Chain A
Amino acid sequence: MNGEEPELRRALEGRSGSPSPEFRARLASALGAGRPVASSTPRLALAGAVILAVAVVGVLLMARQGGGRIAPLPGSASGPRIVATPTPAGCTFCPIAMPTYAQLSAPSDNVVWVLVQDEYLARSTDRGADWERRPLPTWSGQTPPLEMSFIDDHEGWLLAVGDQIGACRSQTFALAHTTDAGATWTQLDVKGIPEEHCKDGVSFADSQRGFVNVWDESHLPVIYRTTDGGRTWTASAPLPNPPGFKITDTGGPLQPGTVRAFGSILLLPALGQVSGAPMQYVFSSTDGGKTWSYLAGVPVNGALAFKASTQWFQLGGSDEAIETTDSGKTWQDYASDYQQAAGVAPSVVFADPLVGYATVRGGIARTVDGGHHWVWITTPGTGVTPVGG
Chain B
Amino acid sequence: MEPVSEDQSSDQLRRRALAGDGYAFGELIGPVLDPAFRLAMTMLKDRATAEDTVQEAAFKAWRKLDRFRPGSEVRPWFLAIVANECRSMRRSRWWVMRSNGPFSPPAKVQRDWADRIDLDAALDRLPKHHLLALTLYYHLDLPIEEVSRVLGCSPGAARVRLHRAIAALRPGLVTEVGR
Of the candidate stretches B1-9, B12-20, B69-77, B142-150, the one touching chain A is: B12-20
Alpha-carbon separation in the docked complex, A251 to B50 (Å): 23
A244 touches B63 (CB 8 A): no
Alpha-carbon separation in the docked complex, A165 to B97 (Å): 25
Question: Is A34 in contact with chain B by the CB < 8 A criterion?
Answer: yes
A–B complex contacts, Cβ < 8 Å, 5 sampled: A4-B173, A9-B139, A19-B37, A42-B20, A200-B91
Alpha-carbon separation in the docked complex, A16 to B87 (Å): 16
Across chains A and B, which 9 residue pairs bring their CB atoms closest together, nearest first? A244-B106, A42-B20, A299-B103, A345-B97, A275-B113, A31-B22, A12-B139, A19-B37, A167-B129
Question: Is A13 in contact with chain B by the CB < 8 A criterion?
Answer: yes
**A301 interface neighbour in B47, B64, B103, Cβ under 8 Å:** B103
A31 touches B25 (CB 8 A): yes
B119 touches A18 (CB 8 A): no
A39 touches B63 (CB 8 A): yes
B173 touches A271 (CB 8 A): no
Which chain A positions have C-beta within 8 A of B152? 165
| Chief secondary structure at chain B's binding surface | helix
Number of interchain pairs (Cβ within 8 Å):
205
B99 touches A17 (CB 8 A): no
* A345 and B94 contact, Cβ closer than 8 Å, known pairs A4-B173, A35-B59, A297-B106: yes
Which chain B positions have C-beta within 8 A of A41? 17-18, 20, 62-66
Interface residues of A, Cβ cutoff 8 Å to B? 1, 4-5, 7-9, 11-20, 23-24, 26-28, 30-36, 39-42, 44-45, 99, 142-143, 145, 163-167, 198, 200, 217-218, 243-245, 249-253, 255, 257, 271, 273-279, 297-303, 316-317, 342-345, 347, 360-361
Which chain B positions have C-beta within 8 A of A30? 22, 55, 59
**A255 interface neighbour in B47, B62, B91, Cβ under 8 Å:** B91
CB 8 Å contact bits of B130-168 with A (1 = contact, 0 = none): 000011001100000000000010000000000000101
**A28 interface neighbour in B23, B45, B94, Cβ under 8 Å:** B23
Find residues 88-114 in chain B having any chain A CB closer than 8 Å to their own CB: 88, 91, 93-94, 96-107, 109-110, 112-114
**A345 interface neighbour in B98, B119, B134, B138, Cβ under 8 Å:** B98
